[in-house]
A = this chain, B = another copy of it.
Amino acid sequence: MNKGENFHPVWWRNHLRGYGYRITIARQAILDVLSKTEDHLSAEDIFFAVYKKHPNIGLTTVYRTLELFVQMGLIYKFDFGDGRSRYELMGGPKGKEHHHHLVCTECGRVVDYTDFIDDELELLRRTEKELSKKYNFEIKGHLIQFYGLCESCRKKKEKIIE
């Protein structure tokens, strides 16, 4: 952030280097976008956001980079059911706290919630432990999502019925 450097925290640069990957403009730009948003961006969203400063970076590179980051565990990839994947920065210095999602099946709105996360995580840990023993799985992660109708979509439906 200082001495004229671009925004590129040490942690993920080391992460990249540690895995033997190169630090490129595209990778910096993509992580930059992800670290500055509260939204759940699709590959195309990220492409457009990156495009503003780097119109030479292609959508293909965005896909490849996201795939790489997912493999490295730098970002999460989610499917909220609208036919495209969404990406979110994982924990770490610039990452948000652990949360789960509440998805409106009508308009696609996604709410990040952290309520009860502790209870959930405790149960998950217990369940993980037992499942890995019983089914011989090495468990790496979990997915919890709730689906429903958000307030405005609910109201729209009520109006139609009236």
A→B interface (CB under 8 Å): 79, 81, 102, 104-105, 111, 113, 115-116, 119-120, 123, 126-128, 130-132, 134-151, 154
| 28 interchain pairs, CB-CB under 8 A | A79-B79, A79-B81, A104-B137, A105-B140, A113-B131, A113-B134, A115-B127, A115-B131, A116-B123, A116-B130, A119-B123, A119-B127, A120-B127, A131-B146, A136-B150, A136-B151, A138-B148, A138-B149, A139-B146, A140-B148, A141-B147, A141-B148, A142-B144, A142-B145, A142-B146, A142-B147, A143-B143, A143-B145
List chain B residues, Cβ under 8 A from A102: 131, 135, 137, 139
Q: How far is the CA of A145 from the CA of B120 in the complex (A)?
A: 13
The reply to whether B137 and A115 form a contact with Cβ atoms under 8 Å apart is no
Please classify the interface of chain A as helix (H, G, I), strand (E, B), loop, or mixed, using the class held by over half of its residues.
mixed
Q: How far is the CA of A138 from the CA of B140 in the complex (A)?
A: 31
| Distance between Cα atoms of A136 and B104 in the complex (Å) | 11
Residues of B within 8 A of A123 (CB): 116, 119-120, 123
19 new A-B contacts, CB < 8 A, other than A115-B127, A141-B146, are A102-B131, A102-B137, A105-B140, A111-B135, A113-B131, A115-B131, A115-B134, A116-B123, A116-B127, A119-B123, A120-B123, A136-B154, A137-B151, A140-B147, A140-B148, A142-B146, A143-B143, A143-B146, A143-B147
**Chain B residue with the shortest CB-CB distance to A148:** B139
* Pair B149/A137 contact, Cβ less than 8 Å: yes
CA distance A88 to B93 in the complex (A): 40
The one of B115, B138, B143 in contact with A154, judged by C-beta atoms closer than 8 angstroms, is B138
